Amino acid sequence: MPTRHTSVRRATAVTLTALAAIAAGGVASAQIPGENRATQVFPVDDRRIQLAVQGPDTATGSVSGSIQNNTDSNLTCTGVDGSPAGTVTRDTIVAQSVDFYAQFPYSPLQPFTLGVQGPGFDDQVFDLGSAVGSAPASLAQMLWPDLAAMSPIAQSYDAARLAGQAVSMGTSLSVPARTSQPFTVQLPRPSVGGWQDFSTGVFVTCVLDGQRYVFHGYENGRPAVIPDPSGDTGRFPGS
């Protein structure tokens, strides 16, 4: 039995060491620590696209709004790596997402295989995000502050989905130059009961001149206070 405990401790140490190395993107020969990590910065305060959104129709579950293209070019907005181009959900989730991208660059998560030797262990494929979620909060915050900050947003989004208060807008959104394009989305049915009123927000990413931007709009204006996971109530500059 003591041997098994030692194996578990060693497995845990190996797991954390491997996760830390992968989260940091390796060391290689970069002059700046983490420079070789595959990340992208998404500016969040550009005004070339403006979004408006109305409250939900609690009888039908529909939400309407508009996308204003202030550029001289026709635009087709797409999501990151095939994800939805936009999302309509609670305004607090949209604001938290905007603050996230103001504080952290985007970094894609890749699954990895970790082989651990010992009683009861086999080679398995772990997802980095799942591993971070199972780590103690203080450890996750120290090793992966961006992934630790992502966790409460994901939890809020899951709660919104169960309440029928989150919907994707498709993988692409086309907006002609210098025009406003209306949109209407259909909220999914809540897991229990009917649709309830909530303060809406809309979140869209678009690539302009080779740079991806985050755009956002709110039914009632941006929520006044958006606590971040560390307890700070700050907001990104210019919000």
Contacts of 165 (CB under 8 A, 6+ apart): 56, 89, 90, 187, 190, 196, 198
Please tell me the predicted confidence (pLDDT) of residue 119.
61
Quick one: angle between helices 91-103 and 145-162, nearest 10? 170
Q: Is residue 236 part of a domain?
A: no
**Would residue 209 be called left, alpha or beta, if left means φ above 0 and alpha means ψ between -120 and 50 degrees?**
left
Q: Is residue 26 part of a domain?
A: yes
Q: Which two tokens stand for residue 154?
A: 């994901």
Q: Is residue 200 part of a domain?
A: yes
Q: Is residue 109 part of a domain?
A: yes
Indicate whether 170 pLDDT > 60. Answer: yes
Record the pTM.
Answer: 0.73
Indicate whether 29 pLDDT > 80. Answer: no
Please tell me the predicted confidence (pLDDT) of residue 91.
97
Residue numbers of the domain that contains 132: 2-218
Count structural domains, the chain: 1
Torsions phi, psi of 5, nearest 5?
Answer: -60, -40
Confidence of residue 127 (pLDDT cuts 50, 70, 90): very low
Looking at residue 81, its amino acid is: D
Confidence of residue 133 (pLDDT cuts 50, 70, 90): very low
Measured distance CA(146)–CA(100) in Å, rounded: 8
Q: Is residue 238 part of a domain?
A: no
Confidence of residue 34 (pLDDT cuts 50, 70, 90): low
Give me the mean pLDDT over the 166-177 stretch.
95
Element (H, E) at 99: helix 91-103
Q: Is residue 231 part of a domain?
A: no
**DSSP one-letter code for 56:** P
Segment among 26-30, 77-81, 173-177 with least mean pLDDT: 26-30
Taking only the tens place, the pLDDT of each residue in 182-224 is: 999 999 999 999 999 999 999 999 999 999 999 999 999 999 8
Please tell me the predicted confidence (pLDDT) of residue 12.
38
Indicate whether 58 pLDDT > 60. Answer: yes
Segment among 18-27, 60-69, 90-99, 177-186 with least mean pLDDT: 18-27
Q: Is residue 205 part of a domain?
A: yes
Confidence of residue 18 (pLDDT cuts 50, 70, 90): very low
Please count the helices (runs of H) and the strands (runs of E) in the chain.
Answer: 5, 11
Q: Is residue 237 part of a domain?
A: no
Please tell me the predicted confidence (pLDDT) of residue 55.
98
